[in-house]
Chains A and B, each alone.
Chain A
Amino acid sequence: MLREAAEGSSAASRQALGRLYETYWPPVYAFVRSRGHSPSDAEDLTQAYFARFLEKGYLADFRPEVGRFRTFLRASVSHFLANEWDRVRALKRGGGQVVLSLDAVTAEERLRLEPVDRLTPEAVFERQWAAAVLSRCLERLRQEQAAGAGEGRFERLKAFLSSDGADAGYSTLARELGLSEAAARVAVHRLRRRFAAVLREEILETVSDPREVDAEIRWLLEAVRRKG
């Protein structure tokens, strides 16, 4: 997605830029909120940040060989907050800005569940980043499956992605999908493999070297397990 956004053909790049906003809106919003801004200010600032991201071509400054996109984005938001907050506050709310997709309600709901008081803004950002990447993977998988086996089937299988079902769970699943239990297990197994492949693809986009994918996954694992 990043490569497409930065270098791809025009159609691909504009789609990729759109996806980029959608994917990384929540972590940026969470980071801004964790820095003590109110929900409405955080909304404005996040919007202003992404507008500036486009106008000033922040993506052009990203050098994969220097660091990961996650680190780049966090530093970039941090820099933006340090330098632009006064200017943005001076502007009429939303005036002069590109209107971007605001998923602030969802982002706020998600953030509300975080133990904000025990986590640093950076830690909140990392956790939300992991969630954003995983959400995007699930959405990709959902679209793939909708094109093939159907979305309803995916929604049933999805519940088995993160953990083993008890035998009773598989038998229920098999009954609901009209499959044998063995076939249901195979379907879950295939979905897991595909999810893993999609996740690795997504993470590969944000690191400079394919060999860093595992390290990045472990890093994100630590981030989501962090209790503050």
Chain B
Amino acid sequence: MTSPAAKTCPHCGASLAGASAVEGLCSACLLSLALSDGRDAASPPPGVGQTRGRAREIRPARPGVVAPAWAMPAELLRQASQRLRLAAVGVVLFFVGSILLNNLMEALDWYAFARPALKNMLAAVMVAASAAVVWFAHSGRLTSSRLLRVSLGYEVAVAFAISLLDHLEPYAAGLPLGSLSWLCVWIVAFPLFVPASPRWALLAGLASATTWPLAYLVGRALGNPEVPLRVLALDSLENYIAAGVALYSTIVIRSLQELGCYRLVEKLDHGGMGEIWRARHRMLARPVAVKLIRQELIGVKSGPEAAELVSRFRREAEATAALHSPHTVSLHDFGVTPEGAFYYVMDLLEGLDLETLVRRFGPVPPERAIHLLTQACDSLAEAHAAGLVHRDVKPANIVACHWGLKWDFVKVLDFGLVKATWSLGEDDRLTTEGRISGTPAYMAPEAVIDPGNVDARADLYGLGCVAYWLLTGERVFVGRTPVEVLMHQIHTEPAPPSERCGRALPADLEELVLQCLAKEPDERPSSAERLGARLAECQVAGKWTPERARRWWEASAHAGPDGQEAPRTAVTPIRSL
């Protein structure tokens, strides 16, 4: 075995100096592992199924995706062991009861069973197998995901035992679907105890249902009389129906997950770092959006790093929750699940983010742009006063929504959370050590050059870019790559919005937008409050009335120009997944 102190690799004899070793491992042997023809490969240990000679082609997984072994919510996985034990104990009781009852009835001459010895043996085997499952589940020798896999095998095995018990007796066909068999009960009940992912629950249910005709064949081999195929098919039907019911119950159970006071109802979105759910408060029945951020997906390890992360997450969330502007999305709750995932509970918004609004309906009139931007300024002004810099002001983070009786009511999203979400873990270093942070198309030049030293004026630059997008439907700068866009942000003067969109725009508004886009922070409006005031001084300000806003939303309620669905859709309040 290679050790960091070794001078040469015991496997290939190569020197382990410098780059010849990585983390004490021989670089040449590591590289050889990946050769598709296996040449030079450090061959797998004997007896583990690896074909000698030409190795099997290794298909790369999707880059960046850590495939979960079982695709189950963590909470359900955590309970897997306990639930499986419960199910197995139930099976033990069932078979022990069956042995006792059958033998008692035999002893009292109440009933003469066919092949009683075989039945007793089968029941005893199942009792032993179930006891082993209880022990395995209790011992913690298997990970939760493996345990769930084992549990599905166990489900099918018990189903087969039940079917065999049925078919050790001569076949007694009743009315099709006239009475439920124990097999049906088992197929339906098992997922209630040990839920799996829907796909696997269905597969296990179908396999369990199929044990019934298989057991019939075993009974035939043991000398049972033949039964017409149609009778057998009709009697099997109920088991397959039970498999369908099991699938349905699995889906329902997954939808009934709870997180603190919140019941997760529907997954709205998912990304590299977590998931966004539509949820309801258990007592208030208030619809909210819950964002789950899994630590392992943002590269966080355990120990002090994780503790510091939780502490920072808490500070950021508290700072965000302290904001009171009606134009800042409200953070109702936050916390850490027992599995270590962060969650935020926020307003579930009904509306459109400005990215989608313009993409779907085109540039907005100048007066509407002013209406939207003024509200965003209100949100930013309060945050800046509290010492928070958004760092990722962009159209996708600003939502025009229906709020109470108001239309085109702006909510700014991800406040303070940008730093606390995607910047966590390894990306935190990206920020603190001055590397890139933000969205290239909306990044201020100083955020590119000296990211560790940005202030509120970087947000005003972002807001200028948002204004540009609203008025022209185009980004200030475009490039083939993000880096090219960043170069433009640093070096290129923006074209006036009217020039880009080919239509006249109010000169005062255009001048203000270009001022926000100044390369030097000192040349931009001094604060969000000042910018809001100057927007309100523009000639067309105030011409986008609540009535016009209402009419626009009503007129657009059914279809946009591109024929897409109505804009009144739920907006996930944290976008940086």
B450 and A98: CB pair below 8 A?
yes
Question: What are 9 A-B pairs with beta-carbon distances under 8 A?
Answer: A18-B435, A99-B450, A115-B17, A147-B297, A164-B43, A164-B45, A185-B48, A221-B32, A221-B40
A189 and B301: CB pair below 8 A?
no
- Stretch in contact with the other chain, from A37-45, A67-75, A79-87, A153-161: A153-161
Determine which of B31, B426, B482, B490 lies in contact with A10 in the assembled complex, contact meaning CB atoms within 8 Å: B482
A200 and B60: CB pair below 8 A?
yes
A161 and B47: CB pair below 8 A?
no
User: Closest A-chain residue to B25, C-beta based?
Assistant: A162
Residues of A within 8 A of B441 (CB): 10
Q: Mark A106-118, 1 if CB is under 8 A from B, else 0.
A: 0000110111000
Q: How many A residues touch B, CB cutoff 8 Å?
A: 87
Determine which of B20, B28, B43, B143 lies in contact with A148 in the assembled complex, contact meaning CB atoms within 8 Å: B143
Minimum CB–CB distance for B418 against chain A, Å = 10
Q: Mark B1-19, 1 if CB is under 8 A from A, else 0.
A: 1110000011110110111
A143 and B19: CB pair below 8 A?
no
From known contacts A99-B433, A131-B22, A227-B15, infer whether A11 and B301 are also in contact, taking CB-CB under 8 Å.
no
Q: Is A225 an interface residue (CB 8 A)?
A: yes
B48 and A186: CB pair below 8 A?
yes
Question: What is the bound-complex CA distance between A99 and B272, given in angstroms?
Answer: 27
Candidate in B40, B61, B63 with the most chain A CB atoms within 10 angstroms: B63
Question: What is the bound-complex CA distance between A51 and B61, given in angstroms?
Answer: 32
From known contacts A192-B44, A197-B61, infer whether A161 and B430 are also in contact, taking CB-CB under 8 Å.
no
Q: Is A217 an interface residue (CB 8 A)?
A: yes
Q: Is B230 an interface residue (CB 8 A)?
A: no
Question: What is the bound-complex CA distance between A188 and B25, given in angstroms?
Answer: 14
From known contacts A99-B452, A193-B58, infer whether A161 and B33 are also in contact, taking CB-CB under 8 Å.
yes
B426 and A18: CB pair below 8 A?
yes
A203 and B34: CB pair below 8 A?
yes
Residues of B within 8 A of A203 (CB): 34
Residues of B within 8 A of A196 (CB): 33-34, 58
From known contacts A12-B272, A13-B482, infer whether A110 and B1 are also in contact, taking CB-CB under 8 Å.
no
Residues of A within 8 A of B1 (CB): 159-160, 163, 165-166, 169
From known contacts A13-B482, A100-B435, infer whether A200 and B58 are also in contact, taking CB-CB under 8 Å.
yes
B484 and A57: CB pair below 8 A?
yes
A204 and B60: CB pair below 8 A?
yes
The residues of A with any CB-CB pair to B shorter than 8 Å are 1, 4-8, 10-15, 17-18, 21-22, 30, 54-60, 98-102, 110-111, 113-115, 127-128, 130-131, 134-135, 137-138, 143-144, 146-149, 151, 158-166, 169-170, 178, 182, 185-186, 188-189, 192-193, 195-201, 203-205, 213-214, 217-218, 220-221, 224-225, 227
Question: What is the bound-complex CA distance between A10 and B145, given in angstroms?
Answer: 33
Residues of B within 8 A of A7 (CB): 480-482
B299 and A143: CB pair below 8 A?
yes
B31 and A134: CB pair below 8 A?
yes
B37 and A214: CB pair below 8 A?
yes
Question: What is the bound-complex CA distance between A203 and B299, given in angstroms?
Answer: 21
Question: What is the bound-complex CA distance between A21 and B429, given in angstroms?
Answer: 12
Question: What is the bound-complex CA distance between A178 and B141, given in angstroms?
Answer: 8
Q: Is B36 an interface residue (CB 8 A)?
A: yes
Minimum CB–CB distance for B86 against chain A, Å = 25
Residues of A within 8 A of B450 (CB): 98-99
B28 and A221: CB pair below 8 A?
yes
From known contacts A10-B439, A162-B25, infer whether A195 and B143 are also in contact, taking CB-CB under 8 Å.
no
Q: Is B35 an interface residue (CB 8 A)?
A: yes
Residues of A within 8 A of B24 (CB): 159
Question: What is the bound-complex CA distance between A169 and B1, given in angstroms?
Answer: 7
A60 and B11: CB pair below 8 A?
no
Minimum CB–CB distance for B27 against chain A, Å = 4
Residues of A within 8 A of B66 (CB): 143-144, 147-148
Residues of B within 8 A of A55 (CB): 448-449, 486-487, 490
User: Closest B-chain residue to A62, C-beta based?
Assistant: B481
Determine which of B35, B299, B438, B487 lies in contact with A217 in the assembled complex, contact meaning CB atoms within 8 Å: B35
Segment 455-504 of B: residues with Cβ below 8 Å from A: 479-484, 486-487, 490
A57 and B486: CB pair below 8 A?
yes
From known contacts A131-B22, A189-B44, infer whether A143 and B296 are also in contact, taking CB-CB under 8 Å.
yes
B19 and A131: CB pair below 8 A?
yes
Besides A146-B301, A164-B43, 14 other CB < 8 A contacts? Answer: A7-B482, A17-B436, A18-B430, A114-B19, A134-B27, A137-B30, A143-B299, A146-B302, A158-B23, A188-B45, A195-B30, A220-B31, A224-B14, A224-B31
